[in-house]
Amino acid sequence: MTTTDPHTAPPVPTPPLPAEPGPASAAPSPPGADPAPAPAVPAPSAEPGSDAAGPGRASAELGPASVVPGSSAGPAVSGPGAEPSSGAAVLGPAPAVSGLSAEPGSGAAGLGPASPVRGPSAEPGSGAAGLGRAPAVPGPSVEAGLAPAVAGPVAGADGRRNLVAAVLCGVLGLVLVCGAGVAAWQDHRDAARPPSAEEQYRRAGTLWHETPVDVLFPPRLDTDGAGPGGADRAWTRIAVAPDADCPAALPADWQQALAGSGCTRVLRATYTDVTRSTLVTVGLVFTPAEAGAEAVSGLRDRLPMPSGLGFDAEQRAAWTVSVRSDAPVVVYAVSAFTDGRAVKRPLTAEEAMNPETEGAVARAGLGHAVRAVAGAVEKSLGARVAPPSPEPKR
Protein backbone atom coordinates (compact mmCIF):
# COMPACT_ATOMS: atom_id res chain seq x y z
CA MET A 1 0.00 0.00 0.00
CA THR A 2 1.27 3.44 -1.04
CA THR A 3 0.95 6.45 1.20
CA THR A 4 0.78 9.92 -0.35
CA ASP A 5 2.13 12.92 1.43
CA PRO A 6 -0.58 15.59 1.53
CA HIS A 7 1.94 18.34 1.21
CA THR A 8 3.34 16.99 -2.00
CA ALA A 9 2.05 17.89 -5.47
CA PRO A 10 0.45 15.23 -7.59
CA PRO A 11 2.95 13.26 -9.59
CA VAL A 12 3.55 14.27 -13.17
CA PRO A 13 4.15 11.50 -15.59
CA THR A 14 7.68 11.51 -16.93
CA PRO A 15 8.80 9.51 -19.88
CA PRO A 16 11.37 6.89 -19.02
CA LEU A 17 14.96 7.70 -19.75
CA PRO A 18 17.35 5.25 -21.30
CA ALA A 19 19.37 3.35 -18.75
CA GLU A 20 22.94 4.46 -18.30
CA PRO A 21 25.55 1.75 -18.24
CA GLY A 22 27.01 0.88 -14.88
CA PRO A 23 25.71 -0.60 -11.77
CA ALA A 24 25.49 2.65 -9.82
CA SER A 25 23.06 4.64 -12.18
CA ALA A 26 19.23 4.58 -11.97
CA ALA A 27 16.28 6.60 -13.44
CA PRO A 28 15.09 9.44 -11.18
CA SER A 29 11.69 9.01 -9.56
CA PRO A 30 8.99 11.67 -10.10
CA PRO A 31 8.44 14.07 -7.26
CA GLY A 32 6.19 12.71 -4.64
CA ALA A 33 6.42 9.19 -5.77
CA ASP A 34 7.62 6.46 -3.60
CA PRO A 35 11.25 5.79 -4.26
CA ALA A 36 11.89 2.51 -5.93
CA PRO A 37 14.10 0.17 -4.10
CA ALA A 38 17.72 0.47 -5.15
CA PRO A 39 19.34 -2.56 -6.55
CA ALA A 40 21.60 -4.30 -4.11
CA VAL A 41 25.27 -4.23 -4.96
CA PRO A 42 27.07 -7.20 -3.53
CA ALA A 43 30.04 -6.44 -1.41
CA PRO A 44 33.41 -7.30 -2.88
CA SER A 45 34.38 -10.82 -2.04
CA ALA A 46 37.47 -11.40 0.03
CA GLU A 47 40.58 -12.46 -1.83
CA PRO A 48 42.20 -15.69 -0.73
CA GLY A 49 44.76 -15.02 1.98
CA SER A 50 43.49 -11.44 2.62
CA ASP A 51 42.15 -10.00 5.85
CA ALA A 52 38.54 -10.51 4.69
CA ALA A 53 36.12 -12.62 6.58
CA GLY A 54 37.25 -16.16 6.88
CA PRO A 55 35.22 -19.35 6.92
CA GLY A 56 32.08 -19.06 8.92
CA ARG A 57 31.69 -15.27 8.39
CA ALA A 58 29.35 -14.15 5.63
CA SER A 59 29.35 -10.72 4.05
CA ALA A 60 26.33 -8.56 4.92
CA GLU A 61 23.83 -8.16 2.10
CA LEU A 62 22.62 -4.71 1.25
CA GLY A 63 18.96 -3.95 1.71
CA PRO A 64 16.87 -1.32 -0.09
CA ALA A 65 17.80 2.23 0.62
CA SER A 66 15.22 4.78 1.78
CA VAL A 67 14.94 8.33 0.65
CA VAL A 68 15.07 11.03 3.23
CA PRO A 69 12.08 13.34 2.99
CA GLY A 70 13.01 16.63 1.49
CA SER A 71 16.15 15.39 -0.16
CA SER A 72 16.76 14.99 -3.83
CA ALA A 73 15.60 11.73 -5.08
CA GLY A 74 18.13 9.50 -6.65
CA PRO A 75 19.22 6.00 -6.66
CA ALA A 76 20.97 4.79 -3.56
CA VAL A 77 24.38 3.45 -4.19
CA SER A 78 25.25 0.51 -2.08
CA GLY A 79 28.81 -0.09 -1.17
CA PRO A 80 31.28 0.48 1.51
CA GLY A 81 30.71 4.16 2.18
CA ALA A 82 29.45 6.50 -0.55
CA GLU A 83 31.13 9.89 -0.65
CA PRO A 84 28.99 12.93 0.33
CA SER A 85 29.51 14.52 -3.06
CA SER A 86 28.21 11.50 -4.96
CA GLY A 87 24.61 12.71 -4.75
CA ALA A 88 23.33 9.65 -2.94
CA ALA A 89 21.97 9.75 0.59
CA VAL A 90 22.42 6.76 2.78
CA LEU A 91 20.11 5.99 5.65
CA GLY A 92 21.84 4.23 8.47
CA PRO A 93 25.22 2.64 8.41
CA ALA A 94 26.43 1.10 5.26
CA PRO A 95 26.64 -2.64 5.12
CA ALA A 96 29.71 -3.99 6.81
CA VAL A 97 32.23 -5.58 4.53
CA SER A 98 34.54 -8.02 6.20
CA GLY A 99 38.18 -6.96 6.15
CA LEU A 100 37.56 -3.36 4.92
CA SER A 101 37.94 -0.25 7.04
CA ALA A 102 35.66 2.75 6.74
CA GLU A 103 37.00 5.95 5.31
CA PRO A 104 36.45 9.08 7.41
CA GLY A 105 33.16 10.73 6.49
CA SER A 106 31.94 7.87 4.34
CA GLY A 107 29.22 6.86 6.72
CA ALA A 108 30.18 3.22 6.61
CA ALA A 109 30.98 1.37 9.76
CA GLY A 110 34.21 -0.61 9.71
CA LEU A 111 34.75 -3.89 11.41
CA GLY A 112 38.03 -3.16 13.07
CA PRO A 113 41.40 -1.59 12.42
CA ALA A 114 42.59 -1.13 8.93
CA SER A 115 44.74 -3.75 7.26
CA PRO A 116 48.49 -3.14 7.67
CA VAL A 117 48.97 -3.11 3.91
CA ARG A 118 47.69 0.01 2.18
CA GLY A 119 45.60 -0.23 -0.95
CA PRO A 120 44.02 2.30 -3.32
CA SER A 121 40.93 4.13 -2.07
CA ALA A 122 38.45 6.37 -3.85
CA GLU A 123 39.36 10.03 -3.98
CA PRO A 124 36.80 12.50 -2.56
CA GLY A 125 34.63 14.05 -5.24
CA SER A 126 35.20 11.32 -7.77
CA GLY A 127 31.55 10.35 -7.76
CA ALA A 128 32.32 6.74 -7.09
CA ALA A 129 32.26 4.95 -3.81
CA GLY A 130 35.72 4.05 -2.56
CA LEU A 131 36.45 0.60 -1.46
CA GLY A 132 38.55 1.70 1.52
CA ARG A 133 41.83 -0.06 2.08
CA ALA A 134 42.83 -2.96 -0.08
CA PRO A 135 42.82 -6.40 1.46
CA ALA A 136 46.04 -7.51 3.10
CA VAL A 137 48.57 -9.29 0.93
CA PRO A 138 49.73 -12.64 2.30
CA GLY A 139 53.18 -12.65 3.84
CA PRO A 140 55.03 -10.91 6.66
CA SER A 141 54.66 -7.19 7.10
CA VAL A 142 57.93 -5.35 6.51
CA GLU A 143 58.23 -1.71 7.43
CA ALA A 144 60.61 0.53 5.54
CA GLY A 145 64.16 0.24 6.78
CA LEU A 146 63.45 -2.69 9.10
CA ALA A 147 64.57 -6.27 8.56
CA PRO A 148 62.05 -9.06 8.89
CA ALA A 149 61.66 -10.36 12.41
CA VAL A 150 63.44 -13.62 13.18
CA ALA A 151 61.70 -16.28 15.13
CA GLY A 152 62.82 -16.44 18.73
CA PRO A 153 63.62 -20.18 18.95
CA VAL A 154 65.77 -20.09 15.78
CA ALA A 155 67.72 -17.06 16.96
CA GLY A 156 68.22 -18.64 20.37
CA ALA A 157 69.54 -21.88 18.86
CA ASP A 158 71.98 -19.99 16.65
CA GLY A 159 73.20 -17.99 19.64
CA ARG A 160 73.81 -21.14 21.66
CA ARG A 161 75.72 -22.75 18.80
CA ASN A 162 77.87 -19.65 18.39
CA LEU A 163 78.59 -19.58 22.12
CA VAL A 164 79.58 -23.25 22.17
CA ALA A 165 81.85 -22.76 19.13
CA ALA A 166 83.53 -19.75 20.74
CA VAL A 167 84.13 -21.65 23.98
CA LEU A 168 85.58 -24.64 22.12
CA CYS A 169 87.91 -22.38 20.11
CA GLY A 170 89.08 -20.70 23.29
CA VAL A 171 89.75 -24.00 25.02
CA LEU A 172 91.63 -25.34 21.99
CA GLY A 173 93.78 -22.22 21.80
CA LEU A 174 94.55 -22.46 25.50
CA VAL A 175 95.57 -26.11 25.13
CA LEU A 176 97.86 -25.29 22.21
CA VAL A 177 99.50 -22.41 24.08
CA CYS A 178 99.99 -24.55 27.18
CA GLY A 179 101.42 -27.40 25.09
CA ALA A 180 103.90 -25.09 23.40
CA GLY A 181 104.89 -23.65 26.76
CA VAL A 182 105.44 -27.09 28.27
CA ALA A 183 107.51 -28.20 25.26
CA ALA A 184 109.65 -25.04 25.45
CA TRP A 185 110.12 -25.55 29.19
CA GLN A 186 111.19 -29.17 28.67
CA ASP A 187 113.66 -28.16 25.95
CA HIS A 188 115.09 -25.47 28.20
CA ARG A 189 115.31 -27.91 31.10
CA ASP A 190 117.04 -30.54 28.95
CA ALA A 191 119.47 -27.95 27.59
CA ALA A 192 120.25 -26.65 31.07
CA ARG A 193 120.58 -30.11 32.56
CA PRO A 194 124.15 -31.38 32.32
CA PRO A 195 124.40 -34.55 30.22
CA SER A 196 125.31 -37.80 31.84
CA ALA A 197 128.73 -39.37 31.42
CA GLU A 198 127.33 -41.91 29.00
CA GLU A 199 125.76 -39.18 26.86
CA GLN A 200 129.02 -37.24 26.83
CA TYR A 201 130.91 -40.29 25.77
CA ARG A 202 128.58 -40.96 22.84
CA ARG A 203 128.60 -37.34 21.72
CA ALA A 204 132.39 -37.19 21.79
CA GLY A 205 132.51 -39.94 19.19
CA THR A 206 131.01 -37.54 16.60
CA LEU A 207 133.30 -34.58 17.23
CA TRP A 208 135.57 -35.42 14.33
CA HIS A 209 132.95 -34.30 11.76
CA GLU A 210 131.04 -31.74 13.86
CA THR A 211 133.89 -29.62 15.25
CA PRO A 212 135.86 -27.08 13.21
CA VAL A 213 139.53 -27.89 12.72
CA ASP A 214 140.61 -24.66 14.39
CA VAL A 215 138.84 -25.78 17.56
CA LEU A 216 140.41 -29.23 17.69
CA PHE A 217 143.78 -28.00 16.41
CA PRO A 218 144.16 -24.31 17.28
CA PRO A 219 146.47 -22.36 14.97
CA ARG A 220 148.60 -21.34 17.97
CA LEU A 221 149.27 -23.13 21.23
CA ASP A 222 150.67 -21.34 24.25
CA THR A 223 152.10 -23.72 26.82
CA ASP A 224 153.14 -21.72 29.82
CA GLY A 225 155.79 -23.42 31.95
CA ALA A 226 155.78 -26.54 29.74
CA GLY A 227 159.39 -26.23 28.55
CA PRO A 228 162.54 -27.54 30.19
CA GLY A 229 163.07 -25.90 33.54
CA GLY A 230 159.48 -24.47 33.47
CA ALA A 231 160.12 -22.28 30.47
CA ASP A 232 157.19 -20.96 28.44
CA ARG A 233 156.84 -22.37 24.98
CA ALA A 234 154.64 -21.36 22.01
CA TRP A 235 153.74 -23.52 19.05
CA THR A 236 152.44 -22.66 15.62
CA ARG A 237 150.47 -24.99 13.41
CA ILE A 238 152.14 -25.52 10.02
CA ALA A 239 150.24 -28.48 8.52
CA VAL A 240 146.85 -30.17 8.81
CA ALA A 241 146.06 -33.51 7.23
CA PRO A 242 142.53 -34.30 5.99
CA ASP A 243 140.59 -36.73 8.12
CA ALA A 244 141.55 -40.20 6.99
CA ASP A 245 140.66 -43.83 7.39
CA CYS A 246 142.63 -45.73 9.96
CA PRO A 247 144.56 -48.00 7.51
CA ALA A 248 145.77 -44.99 5.55
CA ALA A 249 146.86 -42.94 8.56
CA LEU A 250 148.14 -45.51 11.06
CA PRO A 251 151.01 -47.98 10.86
CA ALA A 252 150.34 -51.69 10.85
CA ASP A 253 151.16 -52.21 14.55
CA TRP A 254 148.59 -49.58 15.51
CA GLN A 255 145.93 -51.16 13.34
CA GLN A 256 146.59 -54.48 15.02
CA ALA A 257 146.36 -52.92 18.50
CA LEU A 258 143.04 -51.24 17.63
CA ALA A 259 141.49 -54.38 16.18
CA GLY A 260 139.64 -55.13 19.41
CA SER A 261 138.11 -51.68 19.94
CA GLY A 262 137.85 -50.59 16.32
CA CYS A 263 138.83 -47.37 14.62
CA THR A 264 136.56 -44.74 13.06
CA ARG A 265 138.69 -41.80 11.91
CA VAL A 266 142.11 -40.21 12.34
CA LEU A 267 142.83 -36.45 12.49
CA ARG A 268 146.38 -35.05 12.41
CA ALA A 269 148.24 -31.72 12.53
CA THR A 270 151.90 -30.65 12.84
CA TYR A 271 153.30 -27.76 14.94
CA THR A 272 156.67 -26.11 15.24
CA ASP A 273 158.23 -23.97 17.98
CA VAL A 274 159.29 -20.34 17.68
CA THR A 275 162.89 -21.38 16.99
CA ARG A 276 161.82 -23.60 14.11
CA SER A 277 164.07 -26.35 15.43
CA THR A 278 161.43 -28.90 16.52
CA LEU A 279 158.45 -30.53 14.81
CA VAL A 280 155.56 -32.11 16.71
CA THR A 281 152.76 -34.11 15.06
CA VAL A 282 149.62 -34.53 17.16
CA GLY A 283 146.86 -36.98 16.23
CA LEU A 284 143.32 -37.87 17.36
CA VAL A 285 142.23 -41.47 16.77
CA PHE A 286 138.43 -41.88 17.15
CA THR A 287 137.11 -45.30 18.09
CA PRO A 288 133.46 -46.50 18.03
CA ALA A 289 131.56 -45.34 21.09
CA GLU A 290 129.69 -48.65 21.18
CA ALA A 291 132.92 -50.43 22.14
CA GLY A 292 132.84 -48.69 25.51
CA ALA A 293 135.46 -47.03 27.64
CA GLU A 294 136.86 -50.31 28.93
CA ALA A 295 137.93 -51.47 25.47
CA VAL A 296 139.79 -48.20 24.83
CA SER A 297 141.36 -48.07 28.28
CA GLY A 298 142.93 -51.45 27.59
CA LEU A 299 145.11 -49.73 24.96
CA ARG A 300 147.20 -48.00 27.59
CA ASP A 301 150.81 -49.07 27.53
CA ARG A 302 150.14 -51.22 24.51
CA LEU A 303 150.26 -48.67 21.70
CA PRO A 304 153.59 -48.36 19.96
CA MET A 305 155.25 -45.19 18.70
CA PRO A 306 153.02 -43.37 16.22
CA SER A 307 153.98 -42.05 12.84
CA GLY A 308 154.60 -38.38 12.12
CA LEU A 309 153.21 -35.96 9.55
CA GLY A 310 155.96 -34.30 7.56
CA PHE A 311 158.86 -36.50 8.61
CA ASP A 312 159.90 -40.12 8.26
CA ALA A 313 159.79 -42.96 10.78
CA GLU A 314 163.63 -42.91 11.40
CA GLN A 315 163.45 -39.21 12.32
CA ARG A 316 161.04 -39.75 15.21
CA ALA A 317 162.65 -38.69 18.48
CA ALA A 318 160.09 -38.68 21.34
CA TRP A 319 156.43 -39.66 21.62
CA THR A 320 153.45 -40.01 23.97
CA VAL A 321 150.02 -41.64 23.87
CA SER A 322 146.98 -40.81 26.02
CA VAL A 323 143.71 -42.72 26.17
CA ARG A 324 140.84 -40.56 27.40
CA SER A 325 138.21 -42.02 29.68
CA ASP A 326 135.47 -39.44 28.89
CA ALA A 327 135.60 -39.88 25.09
CA PRO A 328 136.35 -42.70 22.63
CA VAL A 329 139.52 -40.91 21.50
CA VAL A 330 143.21 -41.74 21.65
CA VAL A 331 145.53 -38.71 21.61
CA TYR A 332 149.13 -39.10 20.53
CA ALA A 333 152.10 -36.85 19.74
CA VAL A 334 155.51 -37.54 18.18
CA SER A 335 158.43 -35.14 17.70
CA ALA A 336 161.43 -34.78 15.39
CA PHE A 337 164.22 -32.36 14.59
CA THR A 338 163.52 -29.93 11.76
CA ASP A 339 166.93 -30.58 10.20
CA GLY A 340 165.79 -34.13 9.39
CA ARG A 341 168.42 -35.95 11.43
CA ALA A 342 167.79 -39.60 12.22
CA VAL A 343 167.43 -40.76 15.78
CA LYS A 344 168.82 -44.15 16.72
CA ARG A 345 166.73 -44.67 19.80
CA PRO A 346 163.43 -42.80 20.15
CA LEU A 347 162.33 -42.13 23.72
CA THR A 348 159.01 -41.85 25.44
CA ALA A 349 158.09 -38.49 26.93
CA GLU A 350 158.70 -39.74 30.47
CA GLU A 351 162.19 -40.99 29.56
CA ALA A 352 163.12 -37.82 27.70
CA MET A 353 161.94 -35.62 30.59
CA ASN A 354 163.95 -37.52 33.17
CA PRO A 355 166.84 -35.31 34.35
CA GLU A 356 169.17 -38.28 34.36
CA THR A 357 168.56 -39.11 30.71
CA GLU A 358 171.45 -38.23 28.42
CA GLY A 359 171.38 -37.45 24.73
CA ALA A 360 170.33 -34.80 22.23
CA VAL A 361 166.66 -35.68 22.49
CA ALA A 362 166.57 -35.07 26.24
CA ARG A 363 168.73 -31.94 26.10
CA ALA A 364 166.61 -30.41 23.30
CA GLY A 365 163.49 -30.88 25.40
CA LEU A 366 161.65 -32.96 22.79
CA GLY A 367 160.00 -34.92 25.61
CA HIS A 368 158.61 -31.68 27.04
CA ALA A 369 157.49 -30.65 23.56
CA VAL A 370 155.32 -33.71 22.88
CA ARG A 371 153.80 -33.56 26.35
CA ALA A 372 152.93 -29.84 26.02
CA VAL A 373 151.40 -30.07 22.52
CA ALA A 374 149.40 -33.19 23.32
CA GLY A 375 148.15 -31.63 26.56
CA ALA A 376 147.01 -28.43 24.81
CA VAL A 377 145.08 -30.37 22.15
CA GLU A 378 143.49 -32.58 24.80
CA LYS A 379 142.38 -29.46 26.62
CA SER A 380 140.62 -28.18 23.48
CA LEU A 381 139.03 -31.60 22.98
CA GLY A 382 137.85 -31.78 26.60
CA ALA A 383 136.11 -28.40 26.26
CA ARG A 384 134.05 -29.90 23.45
CA VAL A 385 133.35 -33.16 25.24
CA ALA A 386 132.08 -31.56 28.44
CA PRO A 387 131.20 -27.88 27.94
CA PRO A 388 131.28 -25.84 31.15
CA SER A 389 127.88 -25.54 32.85
CA PRO A 390 126.31 -22.07 32.81
CA GLU A 391 126.62 -20.18 36.06
CA PRO A 392 123.34 -19.82 37.97
CA LYS A 393 121.73 -16.42 37.82
CA ARG A 394 121.98 -14.37 40.96
Question: What confidence tens digit (pLDDT) does each residue in 134-183 have?
Answer: 455 555 544 444 445 545 555 677 888 888 888 889 898 888 888 888 88
So what's the pLDDT on residue 318? Answer: 97
Alpha-carbon distance 17 to 285, whole Å? 141
So what's the pLDDT on residue 364? Answer: 93
So what's the pLDDT on residue 13? Answer: 54
Torsions phi, psi of 244, nearest 5? -135, 160
Contact between 319 and 332 (Cβ < 8 Å): yes
* 313 in the same domain as 176: no
Which domain-ending residue is among 194, 215, 249? 194
* 178 in the same domain as 116: no
Alpha-carbon distance 115 to 109, whole Å? 15
So what's the pLDDT on residue 154? Answer: 55
So what's the pLDDT on residue 291? Answer: 77
Is 137 domain-assigned? no
Alpha-carbon distance 263 to 257, whole Å? 10
Alpha-carbon distance 334 to 208, whole Å? 20
* 370 in the same domain as 336: yes
Is 235 domain-assigned? yes
Is 55 domain-assigned? no
Number of domains making up the chain: 3
So what's the pLDDT on residue 234? Answer: 94
For the chain, which residues score pLDDT lower than 50? 1-9, 21-132, 134, 141-147, 150, 392-394
* 303 in the same domain as 275: yes
* 97 in the same domain as 227: no
Which domain-ending residue is among 173, 194, 215? 194
So what's the pLDDT on residue 98? Answer: 43
Is 48 domain-assigned? no
* 296 in the same domain as 265: yes
Is 282 domain-assigned? yes
* 220 in the same domain as 184: no
* 189 in the same domain as 79: no
Give the global pTM: 0.53
- Closest CA relative to residue 224, chosen from 214, 233, 212: 233
Is 60 domain-assigned? no
* 228 in the same domain as 180: no
* 207 in the same domain as 186: no
* 183 in the same domain as 99: no
Is 59 domain-assigned? no
Is 8 domain-assigned? no
Give the residues across from 63 on adjacent strands.
none
Question: Could you list the residue range(s) of the whole structural domain that residue 95 is in?
Answer: 35-41+67-131
* 221 in the same domain as 80: no
